[in-house]
Amino acid sequence: MAKKIVVLNGSPRPKGNTSSLVAEFARGAKEAGSDVTVFELDKMDIHGCKGCFGGGKNPEHPCVQRDDMDKIYPVYREADVIVLATPLYYWNFSGQLRTAFDRLFAVAECDPNYSNPKKDSVLLMAAEGYGFDDALSYYKNLMKHLGWKELGTVLAGGVMKVGDISGHKELKEAYELGKTVAGGNGL
């Protein structure tokens, strides 16, 4: 069955290394018959969580704030797979991704037990170095907390400038992961 896949791309560089991983992942997933929606978070008007615990009253607009998260919420609800794509910024996800992800808490607030919708997840990352350990640990703790199933990660180290990732094996890994995830057999 065709999967619904949503990509939250936290890189501000449309032709950058993370975006190249996203493009290859999406190509593989689409070829395997899945719907892929990519949100370029940096281009969107997304504000930080206010921590008000006042959301969840209206599932159509789960957050008290009205901004471009209202474009993400309905797609997120329907999605089978959430792809987190980000450059490594100071050993963690970019602010763009962190900010958007915090705001998904409003969807959990729609449930009396603050249960998050169950999803599968993928992580795509690019970095100048290879210090992914802290980000990976954060990601794994987050997935454990949410109860989401990890389907695979692609971590492209050694890439700094736009275009550096060209010819790197991680592009093929992202393409193959897209195909596998869309086909239903996570790695």
Ligand X SMILES: Cc1cc2nc3c(=O)[nH]c(=O)nc-3n(C[C@H](O)[C@H](O)[C@H](O)COP(=O)(O)O)c2cc1C
Of 72, 79, 76, 77, whose CA–CA distance to 34 is shortest?
79
Q: How far is the CB of 72 from ligand X (least distance, A)?
A: 20
Nearer to ligand X, 111 or 134 (CB): 134
Distance CA 77, CA 79 (A): 6
Q: How far is the CB of 160 from ligand X (least distance, A)?
A: 4
Nearer to ligand X, 103 or 168 (CB): 168
Nearer to ligand X, 127 or 146 (CB): 127
Helices (H), the chain: 17-31, 69-78, 95-103, 105-108, 133-146, 169-183
Nearer to ligand X, 76 or 93 (CB): 93
Q: How far is the CB of 30 from ligand X (least distance, A)?
A: 21
Enumerate binding residues for ligand X (CB under 6 A).
Answer: 11, 13, 16-19, 87-91, 126-129, 131, 159-160, 162
Q: How far is the CB of 184 from ligand X (least distance, A)?
A: 28
Q: How far is the CB of 35 from ligand X (least distance, A)?
A: 24
Q: Find out whether 152 and 181 touch, Cβ atoms under 8 Å.
A: yes
Of 170, 110, 158, whose CA–CA distance to 131 is shortest?
158
Distance CA 1, CA 172 (A): 24
- The length of the chain is 187
SS3 of residue 50 by DSSP:
coil
**Which residue lies nearest ligand X, judged by its C-beta?**
16
Nearer to ligand X, 81 or 156 (CB): 156
SS3 of residue 123 by DSSP:
strand
